[in-house]
Structure formats: C-alpha cells, structure tokens
Structure 1
Amino acid sequence: MTLSTINTEYAAKAVPPVPRPSEPAHIVKTDAEAIAIAKTLAAEFIKNSAVRDRDRIWPVKELDAFSQSGLWSINVPKAFGGPEVSYATLAKVIEIISAADSSIGQIAQNHLGVVAAIRTVSDPAQQKLLFAEVLRGTRFGNAFSEFGSKRAVDFETKFIDAGDHVVVNGQKFYSSGALLAHLVPIVALDSEGRAWYAIAERDAPGLTVIDDWSSFGQRTTLSGTVLLDNVRVPKTHVVPGYKGYEVPTADGAIFQIIQVAVDTGIAQAAIDETVSFVRTKSRAWVDSGVDNAWDDPYTIQAIGDLTLRLHAAQALLEKAGYAIDRAILDPNAETVAEAQIVTAEAKILSTEIAIAATNKLFELAGTRSTLAEHGLDRHWRNARTHTLHDPVRWKYAILGKYFLNGEKPPLHAWS
C-alpha cells in the first residue's frame, strides 16, 4: 500500500492521545498477588460491563486501574525488575479479567505479547529502556494487522532507514488498545521484507487513530484504523520482531495463550450468568414435574456438561502456560513445539466451550433472558467475535500433522 492510497476521509475523527500516568505503576511481587489483584479488579470491572457494551463506553478508568495495578508488567523478566510470573498465572489473570469484561481482557493481549517479544529479540540496552517504560505503567497498543491483504501475514506497511530513526508509512486495522495507548507498536517491513515492531509515541506526528471499530462483539477493545503518514520512530524503539520466528521461540504460543484465556473467561462468565438466571428468574418447564427451574434434570445435566468442558479447557490452558515457561527457559525445537501444541489444544476447547456456553445460556435461562435489560447477548457476541481469531479448523490440522506425522507447527504469531 502506498501512502497515496491511504483513506484519510475520516481523519477528522482522529482520537487525541492520552498522557502517560503521573504516578508509577505498582510492581507485582508474586504469582499469588497477581491473581489476587486480578480478582479485585474484576469485581469492579463487572459492575458496568453490560452498560459499556450496550452504549460502547470506553473503559477509561478501568483501563487505568488495570495497567496501574502492575498486571501489565507481570511478564517483565526479574533481571529488569519485573515479576516474571508463570505464563500459567498470566493466562489466569487474563481469564479472570475477561470473565468480568472480555474487551478489557483483550486490550492487554498485544501489550503482553510485545513485552514477551522484547525479551526474546531485543538487545540488553533496548530491553532495559522498554521494560522500564512498562514497569512505570506505559501501555502498548498495537498496529499490527491490515485490512484487505491476501493473508494476515502479508504486510504492506513499510519503513525506511533515516539515520537515528526510521520513517513509517501505511495503514492498519484491528488495532486493539491503540485508542488509549501511550506507545503504539507498528508491524512494518524493512527493505529486506523483514517484520519489525516500530514502537511509536501515540502522539507522534503523522500517527492517527480513528474510532471506527464497528464489530457486533468485543465492542470496547479500543480498536480502530491507524493511519501512518511519515511517522518517525527512534531506532531505540525499533524491535526486530522477525527474529522471534527465525528460530524456535515461545513468542507465537504466548500471543495464542492470551487469546485462549479471553475465551475461557467469556465461557466462565456465560456459565455464571446462566446459573444466576436459572436460580433467580427462570421458571420450571410445564412437563418437568418440579417447582423450581434449578431442579430441572435436563438443566442440571447441561450445567454439569458445560462446567466439565470449561474445566477441561482451563486445565489445558494451565498446562500450556507451564509448557511456555519451559520453552522460554530452554528454547529449542522440541520445547517450543510442545508449547505450541498444548496451546493449540487449549485453543480448540476454549473456542468450543465459549460458543457452547454463550449459546446454551438462553436455552437454559429461557425467553426472559433475551430481554435487552439483561444484556446477556453480549456474551454470545463477544464469544463469536473473539473466537474468530486464528480459526480452530487449522488448529486441528496442526495437531493431526504433529501426532500422526511428527510435523512441528509453523513458527508465527498465529500458530
């Protein structure tokens, strides 16, 4: 895509940047503390989640609380002052937040993925610089995917070398978190066609974020079109992301496990809503022979089935987190493939239970549950939208090739 083809029709709707936090973020000390903080935040985030979805209200104060809590730096290495929690813990944190508001859970995904990539591919000086930003509470958004290319991996955004900085031109879409980010990592190609993260200031001249996200689900992920018109990025902030996929690393599995955690969070929310509605509002069916909806034997069986399937997905999610931990400590073809495979298994189950639980909610809760006042349709819309990330039909293929023919998964962020 050349700059002349960029659609600037809606540039007047550009969203102004937000300032960096005035106070440093908290730094989490332990895995247990990370889980406890996530539960405390989730108890607040859930209170107006239906209203935010209905009216597409940006979660401004919620996002500030989330990033200032220290949970956005939990995968910063201990060597740089970070908590470096297990990826099993990180996934649980995202699941807990997503059960309260799955849009907020998704906003953190690319930030945490870029932090992981910096650990993998950056030199010590760049790591020290960028990890210090993260520990202070700086939020990364993203400007990764493009609209209309043949494949997700076909990037047309490019940069040119200009001495101590690079100049980026292009246009992005699906830019979760970019609206309220402090820094925006842009996936851009160099003259050799290699993909880098050019991490630009959100208020950099020529960087425009437009609030035009119109999906029926995940409505407040702070996504929008990003226009890049001669955006200057200092080389200190240009990260060689491509190196994370030239050799086996856990980078791809890390991006994927966070997707899984969002989906198990949605499933958990749907099951919780179903139980609450059946226990307080639903009526027993006329032929059931019982007085209370919660005594309906078919409803009891269905809740048992859904919960079992969620627990299976959560167990694989935890297993995948520990596999990623091992792949980070000892990155090689075998450990990385193991992490990818278990994460793919978790992705399949999380997709299936998220869709099943959000669909079954209405069948078990009854017609009354479809009333707009309850806002329960958001769970199905969120599940249907978010599970479109990285289709599970290809996850089945990855598993079959691995277990039948010993073929390891491809190395990229979608595998």
Structure 2
Amino acid sequence: PQALGGLGASLPQLFRLLIELGEADSNLPQIVRAHFGFVEGRLSSRDSESQNYWFAKVVDGELWGAAMAERTDTTRNSVTLSAVDSGWQLDGEKYYCTGTLYANWIAAVALDGEDFVSLAVRTDAPGVTVEDDWDGFGQRLTGSGTTRFKAVNVPEQHIVRRFKKDELRAESYLSAFYQLFHLATLAGIANAVLRDATEFVKGRTRAFGVPGQSSPKDDPL
C-alpha cells in the first residue's frame, strides 16, 4: 500500500505484471514468489507493529526467499527452534528453497516442541548456509537449492507466527495467492509459446500437401 511506502498496486495489476514477467523468463516469477507471499502474509495479518517493521525493509529493496520444504516422503518438519539464553536458536536443513540464493531474508518454518513456527532469518546471519545446488529439470535459475541452519540466533521480533499442532495451517487465502503465482507463470509461458510459434511460422511459404507457395495461416489444418 502507498500508505506504507509502496506503489499501491492491486492484486490484478500484480498478476498481470507477473504474466508479463513469466513471458520474458519463467524463472523470474518463481524467484520472487516467496517474497510476495511473505509481504501478502504480513498484509493479511493486520498487525500494524509487524507491518511497520517488515515493510520498512521491503520498501528499502530487501528480498525474501523460502525455506519450507524438506526432502522426505511426508510433510514432516525436522527443523527445530529452541529456547536459549540469547532468545531462540534455529537448527536443521531445508530443500527446494526457491529464491533464497538471491534474497536478503529467508521465510522459514520450524518446530518448537509440537508448535509450528513461521519466522524470518537473514541469509547472511551466522550459521546460515545457502547452497547453489539446485539441479532439477527446468527453471534452473530459480536458485531452489539447499539451506542449512546451524545454531542460528533468531530474535523474538523475527518470529512471525505460531500454529498449534491441531490448528489448520493451510490458510485458503494465502494458498490461493501462492497458486496464482504458478498460474501467472504458466500463463506467461503460454503467451511466449504462442508468440514464438507465430513468429516461427510467419515466414514459411510452403505447407504440406499444398503446391507452390502458400502461407501456414491459409492451411485449414
């Protein structure tokens, strides 16, 4: 919002811009997905103190990546947040950390006992290791590598939210927001396919089964 120092883009404007970005390079919307998710999460929290603290950093140009997923056959969470004399300590490993390689901050999730905790950690904090080891098929530039936390100090102010074990953690609004990012990326890819295919066939003067010169646009098939 403009009142918080932003440009005030609406959600329809944002996703139209993301489609254009995806048409140019499908890596790019993926890279900023976690960043915009973090921002939207703070907006939907309606916590003015948290908004003022984090949005000052966002407006200053700082970026967020993600450290949510783990490489297991379940959705369990092995990264832990423990109470220590200096506050909180984060330990463990995350994978598929899209955008974190380029980010100033990491939006992470951890366990404190049986509670799920959302928190933010600086990528250059002591004990944080961000590895450029993503070798998955496609979108190689998303920086979706491994992130390791070893005795990372986390101030209380950087703990964003807690969920009890029996609470519903999947919030329908933010889940839809994250999925719209994927759809915007796909729409951009589809636009690029149409553009490239059109340019490819425009200059052709020969079509199968049609004698002499012809244009593909005149081919009924």
Q: TM-score, normalised by structure 1?
A: 0.49
Which residue, 265, 285, 289 being the options, matches 2:207?
285
* Residue matched to 2:43: 119
User: SS in structure 2 opposite 1:118?
Assistant: helix
* 1:139 to 2:63 alignment: yes
Higher strand content, 1 or 2: 2
* Residue matched to 2:197: 274
Q: Distance in 1 between matches of 2:38 and 2:105?
A: 11
Shift of 1:199: 1.0
Question: Does 250-259 or 108-117 show the bigger shift?
Answer: 250-259
Q: Distance in 2 between matches of 1:216 and 1:247?
A: 27
User: SS in structure 2 opposite 1:161?
Assistant: strand
* 1:156 to 2:156 alignment: no
Describe the shift of the 1:202–1:272 C-alpha distance in structure 2 as closer, same or farther (beyond 3 A): same
Aligned residues: CA RMSD: 2.3
Choose between structure 1 and 2 for higher RCO, CA contacts under 8 A separated by at least 6 residues: 2
Q: Distance in 2 between matches of 1:139 and 1:285?
A: 50
Shift of 1:201: 1.1
Contact 1:99 1:268 in 2 (8 A): yes
Q: Distance in 2 between matches of 1:144 and 1:283?
A: 52
Q: Distance in 1 between matches of 2:45 and 2:86?
A: 20
Shift of 1:283: 5.4
Which residue, 105, 110, 116 being the options, matches 2:29?
105
Describe the shift of the 1:241–1:88 C-alpha distance in structure 2 as closer, same or farther (beyond 3 A): farther
Shift of 1:276: 0.6
* Residue matched to 2:184: 261
* Residue matched to 1:94: 18
Q: Which amino acid aligns with 1:278?
A: V
User: SS in structure 1 opposite 2:64?
Assistant: coil
Describe the shift of the 1:288–1:187 C-alpha distance in structure 2 as closer, same or farther (beyond 3 A): farther
Shift of 1:194: 1.8
* 1:207 to 2:131 alignment: no
* Residue matched to 1:387: none
Shift of 1:249: 5.8
Shift of 1:136: 0.7
Higher helix content, 1 or 2: 1
User: SS in structure 1 opposite 2:141?
Assistant: coil
Q: TM-score, normalised by structure 2?
A: 0.89
Contact 2:134 2:145 in 1 (8 A): yes
* Residue matched to 1:326: none
Identity of aligned residues (%): 32
Q: Distance in 1 between matches of 2:26 and 2:72?
A: 26
User: SS in structure 1 opposite 2:130?
Assistant: strand
* Structure 2 unmatched ranges of 5 or more: none
Q: Distance in 1 between matches of 2:31 and 2:127?
A: 23
